Amino acid sequence: MKLVRYGQKGSEKPGLLDGDGNLRDLSHEFSDFGAESMTSQALQAIKDLDIKDLPMVDGKPRLGVPLTGIGKLVCIGLNYSDHAKELGADTPTEPVIFMKATSSLTGPFDDIRLPRDSTRTDWEVELAVVIGDAASYVSEDDAINHVAGFSTFIDLSERDYQNKRGGQWTKGKSCDTFGPLGPWIVTRDEILDPQRLSLWLEVDGRRKQYGNTELMIFGVSQIVSYVSQFMTLHPGDVIATGTPPGVGAGMDPPEYLRAGNRIDAGVDGLGNQSHFVVGA
């Protein structure tokens, strides 16, 4: 299933895409897609619906963040060796974990707003993992059973805030609109192998990033298991799994986003995003 939330910001309704790509309304069945909607029991209830009986949505409404009430937005840094190399960092021997404020989340086609005085805002396309059933101290073999689905994510980063303002990554990662998620959540059963997905990002139509999740240092099951050793992952929590090479900070000379740029990005089978960059 491809689960979406559509409508004006703050008034989104739950929906899904049918086999023909039509948007179907679910608001008569569910008030919204919240964290509790990601459990295996809740997803089964959605699967049991007769999709053809759901009303179709006319036009092309705005798509919002495909899940509300996300409790944690956990990120894995330097998870592609070529990305670590381009930033002059050592290849990690364990997953590098940092947190991104959930207030950074924004829709898959919303504007990205540069923070005040930003000079080094960078791009990073990533595979996002959405947790279904709670995970605490889970094994790698069992970890995938705690995943509800996957989505496309862009981890925007203000590099000066990240690297020159006290050494904490979170402050450079958490600005408003710095976490576009969507356009939808694709349930786990539709992704045969999360370690065989291409991902890409373009700025103003020029390809900047291209990679494949098979090149991750730590795969999805390793990441979910590892993070669960340090914190309980609850339904609806999101893990961003790292970015391939091609970020602006790794270029010679470096390139960063400016007002007026357009960003397009996508992950195989998970849909594409498109954003205009605007000033503060």
pLDDT, tens only, 99-120: 999 999 999 999 999 999 899 9
Q: Give the start-end residues of each E strand in 132-197.
A: 147-154, 157-158, 179-180, 185-187
- Burial tier of 242 (Cβ tally within 10 Å: 0-12, 13-18, 19+): buried
- Which residues lie across from 91 on neighbouring strands? none
Confidence category of residue 162, pLDDT binned at 50, 70, 90: confident
Domain 73-278 has CATH 3.90.850.10: yes
Out of 126-135, 167-176, 203-212, 238-247, which region has the weakest mean confidence (pLDDT)?
167-176
CA dihedral over 269, 257, 122, 248, signed as positive or negative = positive
Determine the average pLDDT of the residues in 264-275.
98
Q: What is the pLDDT of residue 163?
A: 80
DSSP strand pairing (238-240 vs 73-77): parallel
227 closest CA partner among 95, 63, 71, 93: 95
170 closest CA partner among 75, 68, 65: 75
Determine the average pLDDT of the residues in 79-93.
84
> Residue 257 and residue 277: Cα distance in Å, rounded?
7
Can you give the pTM of this predicted structure?
0.96
Task: Evaluate whether 131 touches 143 at the Cβ level (below 8 Å).
Answer: no
Q: Any idea how long the chain is?
A: 280
- Burial tier of 86 (Cβ tally within 10 Å: 0-12, 13-18, 19+): middle
| Amino acid (one-letter) located at 185 | I
- Domain ranges across the chain: 2-53, 73-278
Determine the average pLDDT of the residues in 173-188.
98
- Say which residue the tokens 């990601």 belong to: 38
Residue 169 has pLDDT above 90, yes or no: no
Average pLDDT, the chain: 95
Determine the average pLDDT of the residues in 155-184.
91
Confidence category of residue 168, pLDDT binned at 50, 70, 90: confident
Task: List the Cα angle 245/127/140 in 5-degree steps.
Answer: 110
Confidence category of residue 167, pLDDT binned at 50, 70, 90: low
Residue 48 has pLDDT above 90, yes or no: yes
Helix, strand, or coil here: 175? coil
Residue 45 has pLDDT above 80, yes or no: yes
Residue 33 has pLDDT above 90, yes or no: yes
Question: What is the radius of gyration, based on Cα positions, of the chain?
Answer: 18
Confidence category of residue 91, pLDDT binned at 50, 70, 90: confident
3-state secondary structure 111-167: CEECCCCCCCEECCEEEEEEECCCECCCCHHHHHHHEEEEEEEECCEEHHHHHHCCC
| Amino acid (one-letter) located at 29 | E
Residue 82 has pLDDT above 90, yes or no: no
* CA 11 vs CA 63, 64, 237: distances in Å: 11, 9, 21
Q: What is the pLDDT of residue 81?
A: 82
